[in-house]
Structure 1
Amino acid sequence: MNEYRNSIALTFTIIFILFIYGCAMPEGPIPLSGDAPEAEGWKTETVIENLEQPWSITWLTDSTFLITERNGNLLYFEDYQAEPMQISGLPEIYVDGQGGLMDVSVHPAYLENRRVFLTYASGDKDSNRTAVVRAVLNVEEQRLENTEEIFRVTPNKDSNQHFGSRIVWTSDSTFALSVGDGGNRPVKTGDVLSREHAQMFDSHLGKILHLTQNGEPAEENPFLDDPDAMPEIWSYGHRNIQGLAYDDESGTLWANEHGSRGGDELNLIKSGENYGWPEVTYSREYWYTKITSETSKPGMVDPKVVWTPAQAPSGLLFYTGDAFPEWQGDLFSGGLQGEQVRRIILDGESVIGEEKIPIGRRVRDVKQGPDGFIYVLTAHDDGELIRILPE
């Protein structure tokens, strides 16, 4: 009997070892980024409290700004001390899971045209998608006017996961839009796993799109003349990008991207390139098994940073302000799981180091304010707007 028990124990030990070996994080050309030293010369102060799952912030003038809450609220603030005004006139929003009201961005010529752009989940549990709405903000009457949906992602899906989505302006009349792949395995869109849409040219899912201010494909898009591709596609092979940042001076577009149980990525985005998901990844399934053993392939772009353990990145800033002169030209990436902001030190297009700014709460958005300070939104039912300023 003892020999039988010992044999059973040995068998389970071998199975466990093989399981752990098979689930080990894949090796590849990019070192995994673990912890980072803490940045110096900063402090934080909370400037707004009691926000309900805030998602994005954008400034209208030096003192006025908008904040979105995922539950469908658009809040207008006269300054950091004033009570917010709720803006009406929004479209019907599908709020469930990861869906809801997401990004808010103003047109580069906002002071002349008062145009506001919002990303949101539209539809219902059986058929939904990421959409973009454009409207004119009437502050005096606290409402949006001339509201129109200028773009909607296809195909429709029936999951409440992986909507994206960020907007960043690449010129005075064009913007990049990030769209998630639609959901985790075993979620399907159509007759294939949703994640497989990231490699499909007849789908917007798992892509960065490049659109005009009217929601049309931008003229310089790489697949504009390809009859087998969606003309809005700028790059593909993405899982779920929730941070986009653009350097106006160099014309460089950066994105941070959620992996699955580790394998979060920072990518330098180039027109027409394939970023690999799900064919190459440093991620694992949420039940620990490998998604693929491949982390790099010819014709696919390697990430600049791989975060494992996961940061769950959300919100990305290319810093140009004067409040932190030594930080100019660096990226700042928020972390939902990491509960911190990572300073990503750049030398041109190369990452040469990382530092952390601990926040202690889930970070949803990171933006530079008109005053040159860095602002952080925390993703809670009692969310906060936190200012990072020199110590």
Structure 2
Amino acid sequence: MRQPSILTATLSPLLLLASCGNAADGDNPPADVAFTVTEHGRFDRPWAAAFLPGTPLLFITEKAGTMKFVDTASGKQGNVAGTPSVDFGGQGGFGDVAFLPGEAAASVGTRTIYLSWVEAGGNDTRGAVVGKGMLSCPRADACTIEDLDVIWRQHKVTGRGHYSHRLAFSPDGQYLFVSSGDRQKMEPAQDTSNNLGSVVRLNLDGTPAADNAFTGEAGKAQDIWSYGHRNLLGLAFDLEGRLWEVEHGPAGGDELNRVEKGANYGWPRVSDGDHYDGTKIPDNATSTAYHQSAITWTPVIAPGSLIFYRGDLFPGFQGHALIAGLLSNAIVRVAIDGDTAREVARYGMDSRIRGAIEGPDGALWVIEDGQNGRLLELRPR
């Protein structure tokens, strides 16, 4: 039996009903799904969260450089030592956390952990990095990351925006995919000599995987899988094993894309949004040279994360994309049909939503954005 959390402050069961408006394609039928929402503590600028496979332990990164975990079965909270030094500022700091799915049956004390964060460079430059280490949890309230080594680096430039640095393992557990934002520099997303504005594909040790988009081509970044992206804050495989990403557009034009090898997604040459100063950008559909988005949003949803729901706790959700919405203060549910997609529901929350994670039993766990962001458990009402 699932025990109530001793840490939990239960909200007076809050009922969240799906909105019947704001669909990107104008077809967003009313939904009768409702949630009860339970709070499980507050965190300082939480950015990402992941369950340790095969356990009820949910690990949460905090943007300034700390990491905590919550035992969702007992409600106890613990700290993680051995986290890296991060370059905190603007959109940068501690990023994603991911665990090898193939180690689900291994001892908790011997798990491999992957992290992303921002690293400072010379001449006021910085860039995202990915590190690989070992997670040890000798006590119920304390874990330690050991032997953490940087295995991949984003091209370093000035500024503090659009790092992206989301992590996703291929379904066979053989490859690590990383989203690498354009760092608000735009043009490098079309320059394949660097890995900005790209999705990269790596071996588990961080080396470029064989048979990437430009493998063996002189002057090309060997880790690129796809390019022409802006700021990719969601990266996930669907139930059929296909990779998708969701990214911020400029003023309008947030995108959900199926990620394919060697595909160019057009940024900054095309977009369904415009520049912030009002300068027009040709729409995606005006050119056949670039891969077309499955769906775009104007007004924007400002995506924070992306998952594909696999459980059965929420009937009708299976196989659907669930996108955490920052500016939209919502969880956006999207149905996938081949290479096309449509928004089918939007669940309004009362704050910016940084991430949504599926728990071991199919419950949804949500982290809010900001300095006092709550961890919320969503279950069917």
Which interval holds the TM-score relative to the shorter structure? 0.7 to 0.9
How far apart, CA to CA, are the structure 2 residues paired with 1:302 and 1:316?
19
Please list every run of 5 or more consecutive structure 1 residues that lacks an aligned counterpart in the other structure: 1-30, 184-193
1:138 aligns with 2:136: yes
Deviation at residue 325 of structure 1 after TM alignment: 3.0
1:1-391 map, 5 Å: 32-33=24-25, 36=28, 39-60=31-52, 61-79=54-72, 82-111=75-104, 112=106, 113-123=110-120, 126-140=124-138, 142-154=143-155, 156-170=156-170, 171-183=172-184, 194-247=185-238, 249-292=239-282, 295-391=285-381
CA offsets per residue over residues 139-163 of structure 1, 9 Å max, x none? Answer: 1162111110111112x11100000
CA offsets per residue over residues 103-142 of structure 1, 9 Å max, x none? Answer: 0001123343401101101116801001001110111162
Asked whether the equivalents of residues 86 and 118 of structure 2 are also in contact (C-alpha less than 8 Å), the reply is: yes
SS of the residue corresponding to residue 277 of structure 1 reads coil
SS of the residue corresponding to residue 87 of structure 1 reads strand
Deviation at residue 90 of structure 1 after TM alignment: 1.7
Deviation at residue 291 of structure 1 after TM alignment: 3.6
SS of the residue corresponding to residue 166 of structure 1 reads strand
Asked whether the equivalents of residues 60 and 68 of structure 2 are also in contact (C-alpha less than 8 Å), the reply is: yes
Please list every run of 5 or more consecutive structure 2 residues that lacks an aligned counterpart in the other structure: 1-22
Alignment-mate amino acid for residue 162 of structure 1: H
Which deviates more, 261-270 or 341-350? 341-350
In structure 2, do the counterparts of structure 1 residues 372 and 182 end up closer, same or farther at CA, with 3 Å as the change threshold? same
Structure with greater helix percent: 1
How far apart, CA to CA, are the structure 2 residues paired with 1:72 and 1:38?
41
How far apart, CA to CA, are the structure 2 residues paired with 1:44 and 1:34?
28
Which deviates more, 356-365 or 231-240? 356-365
How far apart, CA to CA, are the structure 2 residues paired with 1:50 and 1:294?
40
Asked whether the equivalents of residues 48 and 80 of structure 1 are also in contact (C-alpha less than 8 Å), the reply is: no
> Aligned-pair RMSD on alpha carbons?
1.9
Asked whether the equivalents of residues 40 and 75 of structure 2 are also in contact (C-alpha less than 8 Å), the reply is: no
In structure 2, do the counterparts of structure 1 residues 169 and 353 end up closer, same or farther at CA, with 3 Å as the change threshold? same
CA offsets per residue over residues 241-272 of structure 1, 9 Å max, x none? Answer: 0001102x522111100001211001111111
CA offsets per residue over residues 38-81 of structure 1, 9 Å max, x none? Answer: 53222131332321111111111331121011111111222365
Instruction: Work out the percentage of aligned pairs sharing the same amino acid.
Output: 32
Alignment-mate amino acid for residue 33 of structure 2: G
How far apart, CA to CA, are the structure 1 residues paired with 2:320 and 2:283?
32
Asked whether the equivalents of residues 38 and 357 of structure 1 are also in contact (C-alpha less than 8 Å), the reply is: no
SS of the residue corresponding to residue 198 of structure 1 reads helix
In structure 2, do the counterparts of structure 1 residues 293 and 271 end up closer, same or farther at CA, with 3 Å as the change threshold? closer
**Structure of greater Rg:** 1
Asked whether the equivalents of residues 34 and 309 of structure 1 are also in contact (C-alpha less than 8 Å), the reply is: no
**TM-score normalized by the length of structure 2:** 0.87
SS of the residue corresponding to residue 81 of structure 2 reads coil
